[in-house]
Amino acid sequence: MADDARKKEILEKLRNGVIQYDEDACREGANAAVAEGLDANEAIFDGLVSGMEEVGRLFEAQEYFVPEILMCADALYAGLDILKPHCKQMDLGVKGSVVIGTVEGDVHDIGKNLVKMMFDVAGFHVYDLGRDVPLDKFVDEQLKTDSELVCLSAMMTTSMVGMPKVIEKIKAKNPDCMIMIGGAPTSKDLADKWGADGYAEDASNALKEAIKMVAFLKKLRDEKAAKQ
Amino acid sequence: MNADLLKQYLKREGATLVGIGDVSEALTSEIMHLNRGVAIAVNRNLNRETIAVLSRLQGLTVGWLSARGYRNLSIPPDSDRRKDKLITKLYKLFCHKTAATCSGLGWVGKNGLVINRQYGSRLSWATVLTNAPLAPDQPVRESECGDCDLCVRHCPSGAVNGHHWSIREPGRKIVAYEKCSALKDKRQSLEGKPNCGFCVTVCPYSRNGKVSGGTG
């Protein structure tokens, strides 16, 4: 086990690797973490994700733009691929599966991919339907996989209008399933109006919302089971 | 900002041609801030490692620009084949032909490929988009194919229809790519080599001659 100074150094390398979109640095940091017996979950959250949080801040401050964000995400994945096999069961208290996709008529999937990445990081099982996904496919896939969570993404107002239809259909078949919407034209008001359980403007918000919702759902199910 | 330093540097390192284009009008919102395109071309005849050479030149360009504090985005020479990463999603927002024409290194020929006056279509391209205020070159605005229709007559798939390119009609479909790729698939399965290359080899510019009517 590496000492504290060395551990800090490795975490810093992972964090900076993400921020400076340096895939090689992330790989080196991840390999060092594995070789020297660092906890993989810690390396992911205090290293890679901590870097991604800073990237989010730089994006808000308009220091970074979309190309930088994507390159940072690629660097994060380079490290994550190495660390993932060494992960113990996530101790976030929740573990779930999620169906995610960009709705019919919309081919924009950059935001969706970033959200997907955050689910990957958190140890969710992700069923990624891709982009321009027919509305009924979401309903079918949710039933087939019994996922606790469905995430709908849209970048255009014209394709966003498909969302309430999906929400209605899924809720009719499986009222326990949680639904999140996200993307540039969506808002908290629209999510409320359409009966979606969550709304996320960006990737880091989506992750927080998702963990909160799955935890809530598990609690509901447990309570139900206790009553029976 | 004078671009000669960068151009000379890249040519010393093996670039056949380097041009700077003002590409503002071709950019979508994700990359709007990167309004200069550095077009880098390498003559495919020089060696077989064209893509490796271009990638290296691209890396040098990124280093040169970053050292001076500028942002950049590399569109690699084989951008259509890269699908393994998130950043590859942005590659299709910009095509090498735009950088090449905007930087005055050629026009889009009837064969749908960039044609340079000296090298024809024998060049492979890579692009680095940047926000460095490099002085842009004069764009090529119209096709210089003239009446030549050798590539139209020689295309075995009938994909080349003889349309003239112009910078004013960026969306115009010059070549029926579906016909071309159908033939490529067939050739791939029969001969293990997808490209027939007729549209490159018959072009008088590619053969380093001048267009002189129907002498081909």
> What would the pLDDT profile of B140-177 be if each residue is shown by its tens digit?
999 999 999 999 999 999 999 999 999 888 778 899 99
The structural domains of chain B, with segments of one domain joined by +, span 4-130, 150-201
Q: How many CB pairs under 8 A join A and B?
A: 36
Please determine, looking at this structure, whether the domain spanning A97-227 carries the CATH number 3.40.50.280.
yes
Residue B212: per-residue pLDDT: 45
Q: What is the pLDDT of residue A118?
A: 78
Instruction: Enter the tokens of residue A2.
Output: 């590496």
Provide the percentage of residues in chain A whose pLDDT is more than 70. Answer: 86
d(CA B68, CA B99): 22
- E strands, B27-97, are 36-43, 72-75
Instruction: Note whether B89 contacts A77, CB cutoff 8 Å.
Output: no
- pTM, full prediction: 0.77
Neighbour-count burial for A141-178, b at 16+ CB within 10 Å, e otherwise: bbeeeebbbbbbbbbbeebbebbbbbbebbbeeeeebb
Beta partners for A97? Answer: A125
Name the residue in chain A with its Cα closest to that of B30: A66
Q: What is the ipTM of this complex?
A: 0.75
* Residue A77, SS3 per DSSP: helix
**Chain B residues with CB-CB distance to A under 8 A?**
30-31, 33-34, 71, 73, 85-87, 89-90
Q: Tell me: pLDDT of B216 over 70.
A: no
The CA distance from A52 to the nearest CA of chain B, in Å, is 15
Specify the CATH architecture of the domain A4-86: Orthogonal Bundle (1.10)
Q: Domain residue spans in chain A?
A: 4-86, 97-227
Structure token pair of residue A227: 């009553």
pLDDT, one tens digit per residue, over A168-183 is: 999 998 888 889 898 8
**Does pLDDT of A204 surpass 70?**
no
